Chain A
Amino acid sequence: MQSSQIVRIFILILLGVLFSLVRVKPVQAQQPLPTPSDNDVNRVARELYCPVCENIPLDVCPTQACREWRELIRLKQAEGWTDAQIKEYFARQYGPRVLSEPPLRGLNWLIYVIPPILFAGGIYLVYRVLTNMRRVNQPVKVEIPAEDTQDPFVRKIEEELRKQQ
């Protein structure tokens, strides 16, 4: 192989390497987020409550204000917000009372802690009562001193009892 051929191959390899380095990855056009469907909106809305009505989940609330709040959910979803972010936004705007599940902070902990404690306490009490009842109904072995068995009256009673059986 001539030296000129070696140089040509070297240049070709060098060009190939340079080309691979400068090759630009094709950029795709930024697709807009699809408009969230009613199902998407209701998925979040059913976990929120109407801030001005009494105990009506947002997905079934028929008022104009609720329709606007559902549209706000759609808007936030279109902006790419997650369900959790939307719920947090609603809680910050209208208070935690709009959440179907109270957040785990402050006195709200009691809602989650007290029922299991009371339930466990109840189970313990039932267990104690049942255990005591079983103990009460068990036949009790009574130890009688030996001298009592020598007592003629006791022997007589014993005999009478055996006859009756």
Chain B
Amino acid sequence: MDTIDKGTTSPIEARRLPTWVIILAFALLLGFLAILALGLRRTMQGPITVGQNVPAFSIETFDRKTINTADLAGKVIVVNFWASWCKPCEQEADELEMAWLKYQPGGKVVFLGLAYVDTEPNSLEYMRKFKITYPNGPDLETKVSQMFRIRGVPETYIIAPNGTLAYVKIGPFTSLGEIISIIDPLIAK
């Protein structure tokens, strides 16, 4: 047999990628899309609305005690978001403390203050200034504020004894009477 170099080109069929590479690429792509979809779904999720069940959460108070709302079932829970740098928060500080002092003996209402992106020294100074005695703590990792999807401070969320969101107050309470008018009917139920 003679071998003749014709000097011509002959197209060779391009080799396909190995099947495992194709499967892996698709798996990576699908995984990436799934993560994107989950993130998007979380972002698009709206705030907890009145009447909806409020998932249990816990806070670590400034005096290093842990309070879990799951342990407070059957009580009205007043969750107030505030910050020492927030001027409108100062308007309602006295009213909230007065309301707490009114309801504390009955044991049917619990007040929880959550300092939103605040520094601990300033938060403690704020609490001293307004003589706040109800449990307060930082909103660690902003988990609770993200759960409620707060838009700013002050904001107050009142949870009914059955665990559903009963009332949302955006901005400061203007009077003690306003707070009582919301809490009393919830206790009476």
Contacts and interface: CB of A to CB of B under 8 A. Distances in A.
A132 B123 CA distance: 67
Interface stretch (B10-18, B50-58, B93-101, B163-171): B10-18
Contacts of A130: none
B122 interface: yes
B117 A114 contact: no
A136 B13 CA distance: 8
Interface in B134-155: 138, 140-143
Contact of A95 (B12, B119, B141): B141
B141 A68 contact: no
Interface size class of A (residues with CB under 8 A): 35 or more
Interface residues of B, number: 31
B35 to A, nearest CB: 7
A93 interface: yes
Interface of B: 1-12, 14-15, 17, 21, 25, 28, 32, 35, 85, 117, 119-122, 138, 140-143
Contact of A93 (B9, B21, B25, B141): B141
A75 B122 CA distance: 12
A68 B85 contact: yes
Contacts of A135: 12
Given A72-B121, A91-B141, A139-B6, 19 more contacts: A52-B117, A64-B85, A65-B85, A68-B122, A92-B140, A94-B117, A95-B141, A96-B141, A118-B28, A121-B25, A125-B17, A128-B17, A139-B7, A142-B4, A142-B5, A142-B6, A142-B10, A144-B1, A149-B4
B119 A69 contact: yes
Contacts of B21: 124
B117 A146 contact: no
Contact of A110 (B25, B35, B120): B35
A137 interface: yes
13 contacts: A64-B85, A68-B122, A69-B119, A92-B141, A93-B140, A94-B141, A107-B35, A125-B17, A135-B12, A140-B6, A141-B4, A142-B8, A143-B1
A34 B122 CA distance: 23
A92 B3 CA distance: 76
B165 to A, nearest CB: 23
A135 B5 CA distance: 16
Contact of A114 (B2, B10, B28): B28
Contact of A141 (B5, B85, B122): B5
A95 B117 CA distance: 10
Interface string A39-76: 00000000000011000000000001100110110010
Contacts of B32: 114
B117 A139 contact: no
Contacts of B14: 132, 136
